[in-house]
Amino acid sequence: MTVGFVILYHTALHRAAQVARYWAERDCPVVIHADRRVKKADYDGLIRALEDLRNVRFSDRFVCEWGTWGIVAAAQAASSVMLAEFPGVRHVYLASGSCLPLRPVEELRAYLDSRPKTDFIESVTTEDVGWTVGGLNLERFTLRFPFSWRRQRRAFDAYVALQRKVGFRRRMPPGIVPHLGSQWWCLTRQTLSAILENPDRAEIDRYFRKVWIPDESYFQTMVRQFSANVESRSLTLSKFDFSGKPHIFYDDHLQLLRRSDCFVARKIWPDADKLYQTFLGPKLDTAAQAEPNPGKIDRLFSKAVERRTKGRAGLYMQSRYPRENFENGRTAAPYSVFEGFSELFENFEIWLGKIANTRAHGHLFAPDRAHFAGGETVFTGAMSDSAAIRDYNPKSFLTNLIWNTRGERQCFQFGPGDTQDLSWFMAGDPNAQISVISGAWAIPLFHSNRNFSDIRREAARLQKIESEHIGILRSPWTKARVRIWTLSEFVENPMEPLQAVIDEIAPRSGRRLTEAPRLADLKGFGQFLQNLRNQGMQPVLMGDFPADEVPANPNARRGRPYLVK
Amino acid sequence: MDIKLLFRLRMKRRWRQWQAFRKRRQLRTVVDRTRAIAPDDILIFTTLRNERVRLAYFLRYYRDLGVRHFLMVDNDSTDGSREYLAAQPDVSLWTTKSGYRQSRYGVDWLNHLARKYGCGHWCLTVDVDEFIVYPFSDTRPLRALTDWLDSSNLRTFSAMILDMYPKGPVTAQPYHDGQNPFEIAQYFDSGNYSIQRNWFMENLWIQGGPRMRMFFADQPEKAPALNKIPLVKWDPSIVYVDSTHMVLPRGLNRVFDEWGGEKASGCLLHAKFLDTFAAKAAEEMERGQHYANSQEYRAYQENLARQPDLWCKFSEKYINWRQLEILGLMSKGNWA
């Protein structure tokens, strides 16, 4: 008993001939069906190339356009030839011209010999398939499809929509339960002949002629009526991408294919010389009798599909430029924005970098330049600190920074004196952790040596900007993790909020803050605010600072004011 | 859709086609071997001027990738480039003394040649200092890529320019004939690219890299564009508009996914910054034949006089295409 191969081919004739010869020489009968559209000269060449082989036959030719009946007709015709001419054949294997045997025929034969009654065909009910092109499952069987999906897509879609609207349904022949599956199967003589010699075949064929993509449903449906033992999987390794197009194998897949232990793979790129040489060459020493195990290849291709459909979060590049809100992650990783901290605390960045073990930048969006951590003028990814470049495209600046430093959390200072273009972008980014001490921008003004009228003007300007910014952070569209304290609130009890923020940045450190950054001197700050008020400006963002009282800060003179006991 | 907009695009495309047709007269045939082009061959279209020293490696690189024919326009070379190319068996060569700028930086000439010889072929339009890398370019020839593009019904392939530079002053290591330029120019900027969307032409506008960082830090908007669509399955309706940065009809500029996924793309390694660069910059300044009054070259010249080092400690050393893909400069898309 042996296995016979039916090959449907339409391109790359020399490869089809090579594979046919391989099987035929190893005592497996081969029936070849060539697409009617193949040129006569090519077809004659194929016949000539194989004329020395006595167990090769050629069947009647049909036009095999994708998604049409021709492919089924071709398989029927060629199978009939196989069953009629080679009585020794027990299993018939349907293969394409771009298939390649990965394991020696003897192993396939032994595998099938130990399962003499089993039909290998993927056959799944229409309710259970999730992979169909165009989203049509059951409707493949109940609608009409006079237009080509590839060439007349608009007419195709419009006609489907019309039939849905009208509620049109074709009547199925009695006893038919639609099943779908991979078009590459391996059936026993019993089952196959029962399908082909079915007395109702004419009627059933007439019905399937108008089903969409019948090559994925005809045998898959019929086998359920006649086979006692269906193993619902294909022996051919064949993977499809997100648009229903088969993945192609190249020379660099050699090891992967070798280790898959599958019997036959498709589609092979016709110029993959190394694959053809290796697998059609002298016998390889494989682990005999291993079950097919395409797991690695599955992973490779499912990763490719994921890359094509979802992409890498936070990446903006020449072939991935998502529209707003379709980014699948605006930025690549979580980051922290501190507003007002470096004004309230002395050397806050240094302290933060040490305590949370992250990269703590200064004001990245400062008007003069981007203050990268450590005073760098260039940063990871060769980012420039030029304010002009940054402000030319602030979104690229931030997304690049976060992308370039994947694996290391970035923290930076921000404030009303900085470029504000990204307020909305950061507010809408779930990766952003934004902590605001509102009104802290007044502290540098308080310490500055400027004329009071200038200070007043500047304070009014900064307050306006920060109010707007806080308004954005409080909007219902904000997705960032936002915490806002007024200056007076924060100064009263700085340790608790600091601890909360740090815990979120470095959750695994799990220790209490033992060392707080040094608070700026706020003596007389209340009076400073009162002076602003007296000059007609209304400072509101700082919270409530009594004019005559020094804030609760008894240890201000000590080096480390807040040691938690 | 906006009829006026479509009309403008149509007129723009027709104008470029007309210009290409009109300027065919500027080209004088040196050697025409286009009859040797087979129906499926991948073709290269190039204009050049005084690039003799680069040619040997350029031809070898692309022959190894499986390019079958080179259609080249020599813009009045005086260093023997013309004679060298005319002697190559797979080169068809035209020459012209006309202005590079007046021909839209060579685009008109190449549009004409592509329309005449490139229809139905995959056409790769590159300069002699641009070397394409694409996913799996170390194991799969260019034909594998174009076959895959064909089967995916894609007609264009994007490859961003990646400026490569040496460590130290560009003049420190002389480049010799036939050498791989990336033995010298080994470094690139991995993550400082600014991307904007051009809604009119539907393409992306990418700027950045060492040129923006070093020469255009004060006026980034003038930094050169790096987005390119060099690989196109040509048909008579297609024209390049502005170098190979964009194509019309504009649907072909959609080489990027806008719903979060990644399409396949490559990079053009740009071997501009070799010791030949200083001389080139001086010459081009004088001719004034480059983009926006050779502003780019002027900026270079002012800086080059100071012998700048494009290298910085965050420069990335080039290894292979996989590195570029991990860095997010190119993508495999769903090609696996």
DSSP string covering B134-172: -TTTTTS-HHHHHHHHHHTT--EE-EEEEE-B-SS-TTS
**CA–CA dist A300, A78 (Å, integer):** 34
Distance CA A556, CA A552 (A): 9
Q: Confirm whether B333 is domain-assigned.
A: no
CA of A323 vs chain B CAs: smallest distance (Å)? 5
Q: Nearest-CA residue of chain A relative to B190?
A: A381
Complex confidence, ipTM: 0.93
Q: Which candidate, B240, B302, B3, B224, places its Cα nearest to that of B108?
A: B240
Nearest to A312 among B219, B314, B328 (CB): B328
- So what's the pLDDT on residue A557? 43
Q: Does some domain include residue B336?
A: no
Nearest CA among B298, B44, B297, B319 for reference residue B164: B319
Of A247, A251, A380, the CB nearest to B191: A380
Tell me if B291 is assigned to some domain: yes
Report residue B256's pLDDT band, with 50, 70 and 90 as the boundaries: very high
- Does B334 contact A at CB distance below 8 Å? yes
Chain B nearest CA to A317, separation (Å):
6
Give A303's contacts in chain B (Cβ within 8 Å): 336
Contacts of A304 in chain B (CB under 8 A): 332-336
CB pairs < 8 Å spanning A and B: 178
On chain B, the residues whose CB falls within 8 A of the CB of A393 are 194-196, 220
Decide if B325 touches A, using CB distance below 8 A: no
Helix axes A452-473, A525-534, angle to 10 degrees: 100
Residues in A touching B331 (Cβ below 8 Å): 307, 311, 317, 319-320
Whether residue B151 and residue A248 make contact (CB cut-off 8 A), yes or no, is: yes
- Give the pairing type, strands A179-180 and A124-125: antiparallel
Return the ∠ at Cα B172 (arms to B170 and B178), rounded to 5°: 80
Listed residue (B74, B20, B67) closest to B44, CA to CA = B67
Closest Cα in chain A, distance from residue B78 (Å)? 37
Q: What is the pLDDT of residues B122-133, one digit of tens each?
A: 999 999 999 999
Percent of chain B whose predicted confidence (pLDDT) is above 90: 66
Q: Which two structure tokens, joined as six digits, stand for A503?
A: 């815990």
Exposed / middle / buried, residue B135 (Cβ in 10 Å: 0-12, 13-18, 19+):
buried
CA distance B148 to chain A (A): 8
Chain A positions in Cβ-Cβ contact with residue B328 (cut-off 8 Å): 312, 315, 317, 403
> Which one of A238, A268, A318 would you mutate to disrupt binding with B, by most B Cβ within 10 Å of its Cβ?
A318
Backbone angles phi, psi at A114, to 5 degrees: -80, -5
Rounded to a whole number of angstroms, the distance from the CA of B77 to the nearest CA of chain A is: 34
Residue B287 located in a structural domain: yes
Q: What are phi and psi of B272, to 5 degrees?
A: -80, -35
Q: What is the pLDDT of residue A164?
A: 87
Minimal-distance CA residue of chain A relative to B143: A271
Taking only residues 225 to 254 of chain B, the set having a beta carbon closer than 8 angstroms to any beta carbon of chain A reads 227
Structural domain contains residue B205: yes
- Chain B window 204-223: which residues touch A at a Cβ cutoff of 8 Å? 204, 206, 208, 210, 212-213, 216-221
Asked, for residue B332, whether it belongs to a domain, the answer is: no
Q: Which pLDDT belongs to residue B247?
A: 92
Using one digit for the tens of pLDDT, what is the confidence trace for B66-117? 999 999 999 989 999 999 999 999 999 999 998 877 777 888 999 999 999 9
Helix (H) or strand (E) holding A350: helix A348-356
The total number of structural domains in chain B stands at: 1
Under the banding of pLDDT at 50, 70 and 90, the label for residue B34 is very high
Nearest residue on chain B to A242, alpha-carbon basis: B334
Helices A218-226 + A70-85 axis angle, to 10: 50
Chain A environment of B210 (Cβ under 8 Å): 382
CB contact under 8 A, A318 and B259: no
Contact A269 B329 (CB under 8 A): no
| Residues B47, B106 contacting (CB under 8 angstroms) | yes
Is residue B238 domain-resident? yes
CA distance to A142, A291, B55, B150, per residue, from A302 (Å): 31, 21, 42, 21
- Write down all domains in chain A, each with its CATH number in brackets: 2-116+235-309 (3.90.550), 335-534 (3.40.50)
Closest approach of chain B CAs to the CA of A374, in angstroms?
14
The whole-number pLDDT of residue A135 equals 61
3-state DSSP call for residue A335? strand
Say if the Cβ atoms of B334 and A307 lie within 8 Å. Answer: yes
| Chain B CB contacts of A238 below 8 Å | none
Q: CA-CA distance, A489 to A510, in Å (whole number)?
A: 25
Show residues of chain B in contact with A380, CB under 8 Å.
191, 314
Distance from CA of A63 to the nearest CA of B (A): 19
B147, B159, B334 ranked by CB distance to A308: nearest? B334
Residue of B262, B263, B316 for testing the chain A interface, max A β-carbons within 10 Å: B262
Kindly report the nearest CA distance between residue B275 and chain A, in angstroms: 23
Cβ–Cβ below 8 Å for A307 and B197: no
- Quick one: closest CA in B to A310, which residue? B261
Instruction: Answer yes or no: do A307 and B221 touch at CB < 8 A.
Output: no
Distance from B158 to chain A by nearest Cα, in Å?
7
Interface test with A, best of B65, B160, B331 (most A CBs within 10 A): B331
Q: Compare all CA atoms of chain B with the CA of A311 and give the residue at the minimum distance.
A: B261
**With contacts defined as CB-CB under 8 Å, which chain A residues touch B334?**
241-242, 304-305, 307-308
Closest CA in chain A for residue B324: A317
pLDDT value of residue A556: 44
Instruction: Report pLDDT for B169.
Output: 86
Instruction: Say if B320 is an interface residue toward chain A (CB within 8 Å).
Output: no
Closest CA to B23 of B77, B103, B134, B133: B103
Largest CA distance in chain A: 110
In chain A, residues with a C-beta closer than 8 Å to the C-beta of B192 are 381-384, 389, 400
CB pair distance less than 8 Å for B328 and A393 = no
Q: What Cα–Cα distance (Å) separates residue A81 from each residue in A78, A134, A227, B37?
A: 5, 34, 21, 42
Low-confidence ranges of chain A (pLDDT < 70): 1, 129-135, 283-289, 509-512, 548-565
Assign A61 to helix, strand or coil.
coil
CA distance B238 to chain A (A): 21
Range A517-554 burial, b when 16+ CB lie within 10 A, else e: bbbbebeebbbbbebbeeeebebebbbebeeeebbebe
Q: Does B309 touch chain A (CB under 8 A)?
A: no
DSSP alpha helix (H) spans, A371-441: 387-392, 394-404, 423-427
- Around Cβ A158, how many Cβ atoms within 10 Å? 12
| pLDDT for A289 | 59
Q: How far is B230 from chain A (nearest CA, A)?
A: 13
Which domain covers residue B51, as residue numbers? 3-256+264-326
Q: What tokens does A451 get? A: 């004329």
Cα A159 → chain centroid: 32
What's chain B's average pLDDT? 90
Interface of B with A in 2-41 (CB under 8 A): none
- Whether chain A has a CB inside 8 Å of the CB on B313: the answer is yes
B54 within some domain? yes
- Residue B242 has phi, psi (to 5 degrees) of -140, 100
Give the minimum alpha-carbon distance from B57 to chain A in angstroms, rounded to a whole number.
25
pLDDT of residue A322: 94
